[in-house]
Structure 1
């Protein structure tokens, strides 16, 4: 018998499928012959959730792209940067689970993504990243929906900028809980799923990508709670990488520069431009426009970071087989590693 495929594994799969078909036919003959499947059984199989999973993943893989056939879980995905990450992964062939505390918003985002990329390509999940039970429930739903998990993108994050001399402890605790503890809990709940898949197929590698910040590489004036949580995230990334590589899990952080056009920076009421203006982070600044201009001037490239810039780094760490524990700067030269 000769079988063909894109690689050895595909050829072996073709061989096994054919041999199974031969065995089924042989057994059927012993039991009185082959009979056509009744409509009610065929309809059951068509509607079966496992078959739906197979079709959705196969359809995504057929679309091609740098994430073809992968299942990704993205936190903080109801809007802004997280949503754009999810959209880009779907455009590159992934099935995407969007997770966010905003239940209505994340469901609407997932529905829009399905309308754009095809039914079953996305699910919206209400998730509180500071609650391990919430994360466990969401990840179990991902497995039930898509059959597994390939990529965790820990993106959910918050920021409250203020002088250390005046910042309330509750604000520090809030930032730390979401940015630092939230990342820990995401990995704690996703890692066993990823490890089990590696156990079944030792050549299989999966990815955890933390969306960190340039503030995880260099201190941030009057922004200690945020910078501290992001420095801690780099420490977690390196520690997770050392432990989880035995399970075939690569762990890396991507550290974007300032993403000026998203709500984190540009929200008119709570964005960083407004917060930094109030906190006096930019001497002499009288307007939000003054603050933005000052920050754009800090990068040698004289502009803010974009989703396209960051996704290039995300795909880099996903595609590299010899890269783990790294914090990759995407800062336009504002932060340069020595």
Structure 2
């Protein structure tokens, strides 16, 4: 077995579709044993079977609702039973409900906060003890937690405040977890992607962000989904949306980097540039 993750166990939440599925495939290609964790258990198991057909014996699936304490604990226990360890935890599960501060239903705000912010905390709290125990047994080994955050965790987002707020909070959690867990040889970082315009989060005809942003009036003058897409493509100096491959490369960089923790790494094609 070869690759940058050879011999490692990687757990990816929200892995049944979109970015999470792209990351799972990339990690398996780099030699990892990948556990796909998703609240849609049947879809996750179908994806795991697809991955196992390409990489025999190196893909499994578990059910998880990241916003539920009992579910995250059960998922961590299931992973421990399946693999015996976790070397890389990627907290990718997330939701978006775009609307303005004057009109967004409280229920939508609560959903985004529960999944993106509370869910990140609960997932780390459930899985980090496995890494702590591994460090006790392997004092020289290092482990990684990576949150898939967003460029909206680095700058505000008009008519999408709930999502941006949850992602800003995620950066705060990343920095705080990094300070606390470094003594156990656990690095904690975040990747802040630009817009994955071809993924279901954006392109779903009813719930996707193109449709949501059009309904919310987020793009002035837009009268169609095509107008919204063109607006967001024009904001990127490199002229395209982010892809799972771009994000996977960033995660692998953070895993390989032995002298970095608590960082929020932009992967935005130049749309967001840190000072």
TM-score above 0.5, yes or no: yes
In structure 2, distance between residues paired with 1:284 and 1:130: 36
In structure 1, distance between residues paired with 2:114 and 2:218: 24
In structure 2, distance between residues paired with 1:151 and 1:70: 7
1:253-290 CA-partner distances (Å, limit 9, x unpaired): 00000000000000011100000011111111111011
Quote how far apart the aligned CAs of 1:181 are.
0.2
2:159 match: 222
In structure 2, distance between residues paired with 1:227 and 1:239: 18
Q: 199, 211, 216: which one pairs with 2:136? A: 199
Is residue 2:168 matched to residue 1:168? no
Quote how far apart the aligned CAs of 1:102 are.
0.6
Quote how far apart the aligned CAs of 1:201 are.
1.4
SS at match of 1:222: coil
Q: 58, 70, 77: which one pairs with 1:133? A: 70
Q: 306, 310, 315: which one pairs with 2:243? A: 306
2:61 match: 124
1:183-231 CA-partner distances (Å, limit 9, x unpaired): 0001101111101111111111000000000000000000000000000
TM-score normalised by the chain length of structure 2: 0.99
Q: Is the 8 A contact 2:22 2:245 kept in 1?
A: no
In structure 2, distance between residues paired with 1:106 and 1:201: 31
1:25-47 CA-partner distances (Å, limit 9, x unpaired): xxxxxxxxxxxxxxxxxxxxxxx
1:160-182 CA-partner distances (Å, limit 9, x unpaired): 00011010111100000000000
Is residue 2:207 matched to residue 1:270? yes
Alignment of 1:23-42 (within 5 A): none
1:122-178 CA-partner distances (Å, limit 9, x unpaired): 111111101122111111221221121100000000000001101011110000000
2:53 match: 115
Tell me the matched-pair count: 275
SS at match of 2:120: helix
SS at match of 1:268: coil
In structure 2, distance between residues paired with 1:248 and 1:186: 18
Q: 8, 15, 23: which one pairs with 1:85? A: 23
Name stretches of at least 5 consecutive residues in structure 1 with no aligned partner. 1-61
Quote how far apart the aligned CAs of 1:314 are.
0.3
1:281 match: 218
TM-score normalised by the chain length of structure 1: 0.80
SS at match of 1:129: coil
2:14 match: 76
1:80-114 CA-partner distances (Å, limit 9, x unpaired): 11111111101110001101111111111111111
Q: 241, 252, 267: which one pairs with 1:315? A: 252
Q: 158, 169, 180: which one pairs with 1:232? A: 169
In structure 1, distance between residues paired with 2:192 and 2:64: 23
2:43 match: 105
2:119 match: 182
Bigger Rg, which one: 1
In structure 2, distance between residues paired with 1:136 and 1:201: 23
Runs ≥4 residues deviating over 2 A:
none
